[in-house]
Copies of this chain bind each other. A is one copy, B any other.
Amino acid sequence: MTHSEENYIKAIFHLGFEGLEVISTNALAERMETKPSSVTDMLKRLSEKGLVHYKKYQGASLTDLGIKTALSIVRKHRLWEVFLVEKLDFNWDEVHEIAEQLEHIKSEKLIDKLDELLNYPKLDPHGDPIPDKNGELMEAHKQLLSQMPINTSGICVGVKDSSAAFLRFLDKNNIALGNKIKIVEKEEFDNSVRVLIDHRQLHLSQQIAANLYIKKINM
């Protein structure tokens, strides 16, 4: 498999996880930052290789083989992310790009040994679960701030909306990935939330809360 094929497989997998039953050409093109015509070409190739189900105009979905393949790439991606943060002191917002390259290195022994070195981690630095050697995938341990119950605590681990506007808002309010956050109160009327971040009280609108991912921690 080429890097490109692997990237497409992974994108289809993730779009599937985000709720889509069947992936449309345009959705995949947008995700891959490429043109729909390129996607059509690739879907034909992947279909030939038995990695996706694809019928003209009907969209695509992964075959069992495709799912297995995707899980193995995701496993590599997330293990490398852990390595970069745990062993090389990278900040967790710097690791994705590099893992995007490292996930394509071909060596089963390498990834097994890496897993061992890292002590068989269950989660990557963003709170996403790491598939095990057999492709078993734990449920995600992160959820949107808007979905967390009152009096629970967690750590800011990601954003759903990564637009400049939203990120600037977070900067301006000193909300950074890694910050501990506690839900103090939820306003029924507008679904806004009062939270504690680093001993500061903040009042966040529903829009904000619905775009900030929190990794639960045990208090």
Please report A residues at the B interface, Cβ cutoff 8 Å: 84, 87-90, 94, 97-98, 101-102, 105-107, 109-110, 113-114, 116-117
> A84-B110, A110-B84 in contact; A101/B105 too (CB < 8 A)?
yes
Minimum Cβ distance to chain B for residue A171 (Å): 17
Chain B residues lying within 8 Å of A110, measured Cβ to Cβ, are 84, 88, 98
- Whether B105 pairs with A88 at a CB distance below 8 angstroms is no
Minimum Cβ distance to chain B for residue A37 (Å): 24
Minimum Cβ distance to chain B for residue A80 (Å): 10
Minimum Cβ distance to chain B for residue A97 (Å): 8
A45 to B113, CA, bound (A): 38
- Whether B88 pairs with A117 at a CB distance below 8 angstroms is yes
- Whether A98 pairs with B107 at a CB distance below 8 angstroms is yes
Minimum Cβ distance to chain B for residue A205 (Å): 31
A102 to B106, CA, bound (A): 10
Chain B residues lying within 8 Å of A117, measured Cβ to Cβ, are 87-88
Minimum Cβ distance to chain B for residue A98 (Å): 5
- Whether A106 pairs with B101 at a CB distance below 8 angstroms is yes
Chain B residues lying within 8 Å of A89, measured Cβ to Cβ, are 113
Minimum Cβ distance to chain B for residue A173 (Å): 25
Chain B residues lying within 8 Å of A106, measured Cβ to Cβ, are 101
A31 to B120, CA, bound (A): 40
User: Which residue of chain B has the shortest Cβ distance to A101 in the bound complex?
Assistant: B105
Minimum Cβ distance to chain B for residue A108 (Å): 11
- Whether B101 pairs with A113 at a CB distance below 8 angstroms is no
A113 to B110, CA, bound (A): 19
Chain B residues lying within 8 Å of A109, measured Cβ to Cβ, are 90, 94
- Whether B98 pairs with A113 at a CB distance below 8 angstroms is no
Minimum Cβ distance to chain B for residue A202 (Å): 31
Minimum Cβ distance to chain B for residue A124 (Å): 17
